[in-house]
Amino acid sequence: MTKRSLNAAAIVLAVMSAVAVSLAVDSFWLQTRIFDTNAVVTAAAPLPKDPAVSTAVAAAAAEAVIESDLVEQIEGALPEEIGFLAPAFSDLAANVVFDATKSLVESDAFTAVWVVMIADTHARAMADLEGTARPSNGVTLDLDEAADAIFNELAGYGIDLVGELETSLGEIVLIQADSLVWPNRFIDVFQTGLWVFPLIAALLLAAAVLIDPLRWRSVQVTGFSVAVVMLLNAAGLALARSATINDADIVNQAAVGKMWDAFATGYIPLAAAVGAIGAIAGLSTWWLRR
């Protein structure tokens, strides 16, 4: 091979090594933060006490009251002369349900229900992702699992009228179904990539250094490439978060953002640390080459 060919091959191998490092980081984060149910539950457990999340759940409960046949029930119970006040009573009931539900969701008692709900949601999502078909509804947080606890608590407040309602609070979509196009083989790659990708990165870098006429240049290219790739990964995660929030209902957007932050918080520091190490390695070898 000519010197020019060796130079080109060394650079390609160095960039491929950086990509393998990125995949190793992704595998580590997915395995320890996303694929692990205990880690997900730990990250999600404090969320009910966040005002954005409790407001979204309370709004769903109030919406269930508004969309029910409550107005007709009240109209039937009121004297004909004041039947026109039924919508006002309905709005009042919805406001009472909202305030009571928000207080309940932020309580310690609701956390136990929330943890079970998150664990079940994660188990279903993993079962879908590890299967051959993508989830038809994406990754969603089914609030119906908490509906019984909420409406039973409301009955304790003396709001007996909700006993007649259909206890359905809907769901909060965390990831749209169109975003889940990973076949099970792709998931398997990340699950085994925890040790495979670092090994591949090391072998590619070793090959690049071996054939590069300028030995340190391959390390320099790898370091800078790692910094760039990790920056792109972080930007991609931010774009996915933004797209999911924009697709959510307005009342749920803040809650979806908080949930994304809870699950993805660990990736940004990890990507920043690995990217910084890559940049330092690139700058150091650039200095040495001078």
The pLDDT, as a whole number, for residue 141 is 57
pLDDT band at residue 133 using 50, 70 and 90 as cut-offs: very low
Average pLDDT, the chain: 76
Query: Looking at residue 162, what is its pLDDT?
Result: 45
pTM above 0.85, yes or no: no
Residue 173 has φ and ψ, to the nearest 5°, of: -85, 120
The predicted model gives 133-141 an average pLDDT of 51
d(CA 80, CA 94): 22
Residue 57 has pLDDT above 60, yes or no: yes
- pLDDT range class, residue 72, cuts 50, 70, 90: low
Mean pLDDT value of segment 29-34: 85
Q: What is the DSSP string of 97-136?
A: HHHHHHHHHTSHHHHHHHHHHHHHHHHHHHHHHTSSS--T
User: 109 pLDDT band (50/70/90 cuts)?
Assistant: confident
**Residue-level pLDDT at 225:** 96
Domains of the chain, by residue range, sit at 3-36+188-289, 40-179
Share of the chain above pLDDT 70, in %: 67
Q: pLDDT higher for 5 or 138? A: 5
Listed ranges 52-61, 81-90, 169-178, 253-262; the one with the highest mean pLDDT: 253-262
How sure is the predictor about 11, in pLDDT bands with cuts at 50, 70 and 90?
Answer: very high
Percent with pLDDT over 90 in the chain: 21
DSSP readout, 205-260?
HHHHHHH-SSHHHHHHHHHHHHHHHHHHHHHHHHHHHHHHHHHS-HHHHHHHHHHH
What's the N-to-C CA distance of the chain in angstroms? 27
Q: Higher pLDDT residue, 155 or 158?
A: 155
Res. 25 pLDDT band, cuts 50 70 90: very high
- Residue 161 confidence (pLDDT): 45
Cα separation, 261 vs 36, whole angstroms: 17
User: From CA 229, how far away is CA 201, in angstroms rounded?
Assistant: 14
The DSSP letter of residue 35 is: S
Q: What is the pLDDT of residues 194-251, one digit of tens each?
A: 788 999 999 999 999 999 888 788 999 999 999 999 999 999 988 988 888 888 777 6
Q: Is the pLDDT of residue 136 over 50?
A: no
**Helix 86-105 / helix 51-66 crossing angle, nearest 10 deg:** 150
Instruction: Report the pLDDT value the prediction gives residue 212, as an integer from 0 to 100.
Output: 87
Q: What value does the mean pLDDT take over residues 98-119?
A: 78
pLDDT at 116: 78
